[in-house]
Amino acid sequence: MNQGKAPAGELPAVIITGASGFLGRHLVAALRDRYRIFGLGRRSHRSVGIPDHHHLSWFQADIAEREALEPVFRSLRQVPGTKVLIHLAAYYDFTGEKSPEYERTNVHGLRNVLELSRALRPERFVFASSVAACDFPPPGAALDEESPVDGHHHYAVSKRRGEELLRQYAGEIDPVIVRLGALFSDWCEYPPLYTFLGTWLSQAWKRRMLAGRGLSAVPYLHVRCAARFFARIVEKHRELRPCEVAIASTDGCVSHLETFEAATLAFHGYRMRPIFTPKLLARLGLNAMDLAGRLTGNRPFERPWMGRYIDLRLNTDAARTRARVGWAPNPRLAILRRIPFLVENMKSDPIEWHRRNLAAMRTVEVQPNLRLLQLLEVHEREILETSVQASLAPEAVSRHASYQTLGEDEVRWAKRQLFLQLKNTIRARDIAIFKAYCRYTAERRYRQGFPCGEVCHMIAQDRDTCLRILSQDPGSRGLEDALRDHVVMTFMVGLDEILDAYEELSGEMVAVDP
């Protein structure tokens, strides 16, 4: 440890949910030298490029999974000293369609974190929202800290419900609400802007077309500025009022026309002249492109719902927050100042440009393993009961004679453990979890005198039951690859591990075809 630094145990603790996300990764980097960071994310820190650090502790869990979250918070309760919890974990997408993930993560997941924070008792609970959760202000007006969360799209509704939840817990947890502008980096990583740049700077027939008068506008904020904002909130958290709203954004907003001109100037050396498309025609075009995409199975990023917002401006006034927090965006990192850097990165390293942005695009949709996990949870009771009954049925005596001696409670417990490990494997995308469970099961059953064939047949039966029930649900459409990768292959590896264990323990080759 460097001389002059406080020992890690004396540093205040900052807990970050959603730490593996875009903002979370930058926030960890901004805080790790001055605080003990306890990051919580769906993915491991190494998988998202966060290096090991002596001040960083990591928990891999999904906030919507209460069972997985409870041991995390039990560990966090043992951490001494000041604690600030920053809740970044959230779901959003740009499809405009209703997704169960809004309820699952943004409402149910937040409720889990709030419930478990009762015993944790952080000094401050910082909740990340968005100015996009508010409805567009009237022409000439601006959103400020008093503006209601009254947007009509699904994300806005989920954030409104989140803020309502916070106020319900305000007597036990002191919340602060942070409404963020549209976050971007020098590699873009903001899906709408990435799509616009990809069109404007291409040879596509629509490269010069702007909907309406090109006045559609949002406030942008560089992710480095956002990380510094949250660092300032942590420093000043005792001075903020419970349920106070802060806006992390530049003032005003930046239009499509302004970004189009800046991008084409940086790319071509001159500003291209746009072709403005009347609103009605633009809306018809969005519908036509979406219909063609549905027919070909390749829907575009632009969706019909976006037509409602043509030429609307999400104007923002964050003056009060700047005065309260003592923070201001760095003018050098303003979007129009950074466009040349974005364009240069796109031109000089297109592979990295697309890699980062396609990763950002994927985060706006639930990953297939998590969709499969949701489906498994919906049918878990049915799968468990079907599997228990099949294992103990009279006609199963010849196949499962050893299991018949265990009794229903023990069989039910074993099944529940198997499906718990299957869920953990799917959630983490780590097949080693299920493999280790099958090794332990094989060793235990071997000591109990169970034949290898019975153990393998029981596991294979559970696999078939799981696949049959999941495949009958219409929600499994499009998850065929995920079923193969995360269920079929997981059970295949588990069964192979059972065979290996029995061969090692018995010293004989096992002739079983699972």
pLDDT tens digits for range 245-298: 999 999 999 999 999 999 999 999 999 999 999 999 999 999 999 899 888 888
Most confidently predicted of 149-158, 309-318, 411-420, 473-482: 309-318
Higher per-residue confidence, 55 vs 359 = 55
User: Does residue 396 register a pLDDT over 80?
Assistant: no
Average pLDDT over the chain, rounded to whole? 90
Q: How many CA atoms lie within 13 A of 113 on its CB side?
A: 31
Mapping DSSP to helix (H, G, I), strand (E, B) and coil, where does residue 32 land?
coil
For residues 63 and 105, the answer to whether their CB atoms sit within 8 Å is: yes
pLDDT band at 144 (very low <50, low <70, confident <90, very high): very high
- Rounded Cα distance, 215 and 98, in Å: 27
User: Does residue 3 register a pLDDT over 70?
Assistant: no
Higher per-residue confidence, 511 vs 60 = 60
Task: Give the angle 333-39-432 at the CA atoms, nearest 5°.
Answer: 125
- Rounded Cα distance, 38 and 36, in Å: 7
Tokens standing for 293? 């995409």
pLDDT band at 81 (very low <50, low <70, confident <90, very high): confident
- pLDDT value at residue 71: 94
Indicate the helix (H) or strand (E) that contains 460: helix 452-472
pLDDT tens digits for range 211-224: 999 999 999 999 99
* Alpha helices in 34-105, H assignment, sequence order: 66-77, 100-101
- pLDDT value at residue 214: 97
- pLDDT value at residue 8: 54
Find tokens 């106020």 and name the residue.
Answer: 167
User: Does residue 5 register a pLDDT over 60?
Assistant: no
- pLDDT value at residue 4: 37
pLDDT band at 6 (very low <50, low <70, confident <90, very high): very low
Tokens standing for 497? 């591990």
Q: What average pLDDT score do residues 174-196 get?
A: 96
Mapping DSSP to helix (H, G, I), strand (E, B) and coil, where does residue 271 land?
coil
User: Does residue 95 register a pLDDT over 80?
Assistant: yes
What are the Cα distances from residue 277, in Å, to 20, 210, 257, 303, 438? Answer: 39, 6, 12, 16, 61
- pLDDT value at residue 360: 76
Q: What average pLDDT score do residues 484-496 get?
A: 93
User: Does residue 68 register a pLDDT over 90?
Assistant: no
Higher per-residue confidence, 322 vs 479 = 322
- pLDDT value at residue 430: 86
Task: Please tell me the pTM assigned to this model.
Answer: 0.73
- pLDDT value at residue 369: 81
pLDDT band at 375 (very low <50, low <70, confident <90, very high): confident
pLDDT tens digits for range 324-371: 999 999 999 999 999 999 999 999 998 889 888 887 776 555 568 877
- pLDDT value at residue 514: 58
pLDDT band at 424 (very low <50, low <70, confident <90, very high): confident
- pLDDT value at residue 510: 74
- pLDDT value at residue 84: 96
For the chain, what are the domain ranges?
10-363, 368-506
- Rounded Cα distance, 114 and 156, in Å: 20
Share of residues in the chain with pLDDT > 90 (%): 70
Domain covering 10-363 in this structure, CATH number = 3.40.50.720
Closest to 362 (Cα-Cα) out of 180, 106, 191 = 191
